[in-house]
Amino acid sequence: MVQIPSDQIKSREILNWKGLHLFHFRTSSCSQKLRIYLNLKKISWTPHSINLATGKNYSEFFLGINPKGLVPVLVDDGRVEIESNDILMYLEDKFPENPLVPDSDTTEIGTLLKEEDDLHEDIRNIAYRYMFGGLGKKDPDELDAFEKYKSSNSELDYLKLKEVKFYKSFRENGITDEAVKNSLNNFCKCYDKFESLLNKQKYLMGKNLSMLDLAWFIYTYRLYVSGFPFKDRYPKMSEWFLDLYSRKEFFKEVNDPLPLKLIRLYAKTSTSLSGKSIKALLTK
């Protein structure tokens, strides 16, 4: 788990906070995944919204908590945890009731969540190309200040540079067809496996809902909205997704949720303005 030691926290006031506090943003995919988990487990928490669209994650206050400038961040009685999947595992250990990790599969789900996390840049490529467009561009001055910010954690400062590199490239070049094709190929390798599993079981890890379903629900939502033809290529994944999407714990947390009727139309037609481009890139 990725815990930031208290002596590295510059925004010292949070160390005195009591209870569970979550720094998050409405449209952050990792925040959405975590909020769905909290909904399902009925865990009480105090929200602290960090608006990524206006650069609040580059503020001195927030960088004094997480030098990577990323949400979500969990503060539990002054203990600071970052990285969404690590936060999920931390909470699952703290709140074992109604488990979302099968007892026998703790190691396996850790491996599978790592596989999901490794696709974060791929979902970002697709979302920034088809969902966000130019809205994902960062203010150059804020980005420069973020790049120059130095924390007490050299490892996090180094990882931060990957974020800076992406946003600079996105501003200058956008997301290329080649990048999208590579990302789609990476997703298809996983969906091929999941489609086979869902022919035999209800959820990705068997008969019960797990953290893995939460993680892949968010990715699948973003791909659906971007026009990925799930009904044609992965009909079982399409059924799995629509079942979860119809549940209030999931539906209310996704990025500007579309009416269920409309997203079911996507499932039936597998077409949208952006979907034509994704289809073309999938077939080449």
Domain end (from 91, 108, 125): 108
Residue 15 and residue 81 in one domain = yes
pLDDT(23) > 90: yes
- Could you tell me whether strands 20-24 and 46-49 are parallel, antiparallel, or unpaired per DSSP bridges? parallel
pLDDT in tens, 212-252: 999 999 999 999 988 899 999 999 999 999 999 999 999 99
Residue 129 forms part of a structural domain = yes
Residue 119 and residue 256 in one domain = yes
Q: Output 102 or 234, whichever has higher pLDDT.
A: 234
pLDDT in tens, 252-264: 999 665 555 555 5
Residue 81 forms part of a structural domain = yes
Residue 270 and residue 181 in one domain = yes
Q: Output 213 or 135, whichever has higher pLDDT.
A: 213
Total structural domains within the chain: 2
pLDDT(151) > 90: yes
pLDDT(211) > 80: yes
Average pLDDT over residues 125-133: 87
Domain that residue 83 falls in: 2-108
Integer Cα distance of 278 and 210 in angstroms: 29
pLDDT(265) > 70: no
CATH code for the domain of 271: 1.20.1050.10
What's the confidence (pLDDT) of residue 257?
54
Integer Cα distance of 93 and 41 in angstroms: 12
Q: Residue 273's pLDDT band (boundaries 50, 70, 90)? A: very low
pLDDT(270) > 60: no
Residue 32 forms part of a structural domain = yes
Integer Cα distance of 280 and 17 in angstroms: 51
In degrees, to the nearest 5, what angle opens at C-alpha 119 toward C-alphas 135 and 201?
Answer: 120
pLDDT(142) > 70: yes
pLDDT-wise least confident of 7-16, 50-59, 74-83, 101-110: 101-110
Residue 234 and residue 193 in one domain = yes
pLDDT(69) > 70: yes
CATH code for the domain of 6: 3.40.30.10
Question: Which pTM does this prediction carry?
Answer: 0.91
What's the confidence (pLDDT) of residue 106?
73
Average pLDDT over residues 98-118: 87
Residue 119 and residue 69 in one domain = no
Percentage of residues of the chain with pLDDT beyond 70: 90
What's the confidence (pLDDT) of residue 256?
63
pLDDT-wise least confident of 125-129, 197-201, 270-274: 270-274
Residue 150 forms part of a structural domain = no
Residue 87 and residue 9 in one domain = yes
Residue 67 and residue 121 in one domain = no
Residue with tokens 């580059």: 58
Residue 154 forms part of a structural domain = no
Average model confidence (pLDDT) across the chain: 90
pLDDT(40) > 80: yes
Token pair for 50: 């960090």
Residue 84 and residue 195 in one domain = no
Q: Residue 2's pLDDT band (boundaries 50, 70, 90)? A: confident
pLDDT in tens, 168-209: 999 999 999 999 999 999 999 999 999 999 999 999 999 999
Integer Cα distance of 197 and 5 in angstroms: 40
What's the confidence (pLDDT) of residue 278?
84
Residue 92 and residue 199 in one domain = no
Residue 202 and residue 85 in one domain = no
CB neighbours (10 Å) of residue 276?
A: 12
Residue 16 and residue 61 in one domain = yes
Residue 168 forms part of a structural domain = no
Residue 12 forms part of a structural domain = yes
CA distances from 183 to 124, 179, 196, 237 (A): 9, 6, 21, 18
First to last CA, the chain: 40
